[in-house]
Amino acid sequence: MSDFNRGYPRPATAPIADMSVDAGLRSFMLGVYTKVALGLVVSAAMAFVTGTYPPVRDLMFNIRADGRIGMTLLGMIVTFAPLAVILFSRAINPRRSGAIYWTIVTLIGASLGTVVLLYTGASIATTFLITATAFGALSLVGYTTKRDLTGLGSFLIMGLVGLLIAMVVGIFVRSAMMEFIINCAGVLIFAGLTAFQTQRLKMTYYQLGGDQAALSAATNYGALSLYLDFINLFQFLLSMGGSRR
């Protein structure tokens, strides 16, 4: 999910030039980060509503007598809907990229009500700050490094496929050790993807050569990639060290 890159070309594998001083690039990246930040605000608001407001919570989740949390049919639809939107968005005009972005962040936020139900507020806030700090540092590395991260990105994407397979297996094979390994792998993979996708966005800006329509779509798709990296990094860190209610 995090390797969402449609509507603009992939970066070339040529050596990375020193482009960090370009004013147009700074404006482009600021647009991406602004949308990521606003997307996180929308998701947090949706998670708070679905996790704390009883009429909405009960439509999404089943809280069992033993404290375990299950999903209603609506909850399952909302949880898997972002993946469907991403898959079918290839048939949608790139001009609709903004609608795609806001639809996905809203749906993901609604499904994150489980986080509010499972973990303490202090734990969520602490993990969010840790994630934000790590995300900012990793994105800065991707923005400033002169090393081509394309090879690393390909390796991480293959690792992501393996991670998804392991998570599916983990649903049927309950193991504390396996869960710990999955969480560690998830943190490492999405940390690396944050740096890689930041660099890819930087190179995409130069490849588009000032095409404003294409840059607008690239801002939305780029924001979605980084938003998904942030959310996944946050969830894996929370699963590793979060305090449950």
The string of pLDDT tens digits covering residues 179-191 is 999 999 999 999 9
End-to-end CA distance of the chain: 29
pLDDT of residue 20: 46
Distance CA 119, CA 112 (A): 11
How far apart, in Å, are the Cα atoms of 61 and each of 75, 105, 160?
6, 19, 28
Of 217, 231, 197, 187, whose CA–CA distance to 39 is shortest? Answer: 231
pLDDT of residue 212: 86
Distance CA 134, CA 113 (A): 23
Mean pLDDT of 10-18: 44
Mean pLDDT of 114-127: 93
pLDDT of residue 242: 78
DSSP code of 173? S
Is pLDDT of 14 > 50? Answer: no
**Taking the CB of residue 64, how many other CB atoms lie within 10 A of it?**
9
Mean pLDDT of 87-115: 88
Residue 129 lies in a domain: yes
pLDDT of residue 69: 85
**Range name among 11-15, 53-57, 231-235 with the lowest pLDDT average:** 11-15
* Confidence band of 7 (pLDDT split at 50, 70, 90): very low
Mean pLDDT of 99-105: 95
DSSP code of 92? S
Paired sense of beta strands 69-71 and 61-63, if any: antiparallel
Question: Which of the listed ranges 36-50, 145-159, 201-215 does the model predict with the highest average pLDDT?
Answer: 36-50
* Confidence band of 12 (pLDDT split at 50, 70, 90): very low
Is pLDDT of 6 > 80? Answer: no
pLDDT of residue 86: 86
Residue 7 lies in a domain: no
Is pLDDT of 17 > 70? Answer: no
Residue 205 lies in a domain: yes
For tokens 């909850």, the residue is 75
Q: Report the chain's C-alpha Rg in angstroms.
A: 18
Distance CA 148, CA 142 (A): 9
Distance CA 120, CA 116 (A): 7
Of 121, 104, 192, whose CA–CA distance to 154 is shortest? Answer: 192
Question: Which residues, at least 6 apart from 212, have a Cβ–Cβ distance to it below 8 Å?
Answer: none
Angle at 219 between CA 216 and CA 222, to 5 degrees: 145
Residue 12 lies in a domain: no
Q: Tokens in use for 128?
A: 């969010």
Q: Tokens in use for 192?
A: 């690396």
What total of structural domains would you count in the chain? 1
What is the residue range of 110's domain? Answer: 23-241
* Confidence band of 124 (pLDDT split at 50, 70, 90): very high
Mean pLDDT, rounded, of the chain: 87
Helix (H, G, I), strand (E, B) or coil at 127: helix
Is pLDDT of 70 > 60? Answer: yes
Residue 11 lies in a domain: no
Residue 6 lies in a domain: no
**Taking the CB of residue 86, how many other CB atoms lie within 10 A of it?**
16
* Confidence band of 91 (pLDDT split at 50, 70, 90): low
Residue 17 lies in a domain: no
Q: Tokens in use for 159?
A: 């690792």
* Confidence band of 210 (pLDDT split at 50, 70, 90): confident
Distance CA 223, CA 67 (A): 36
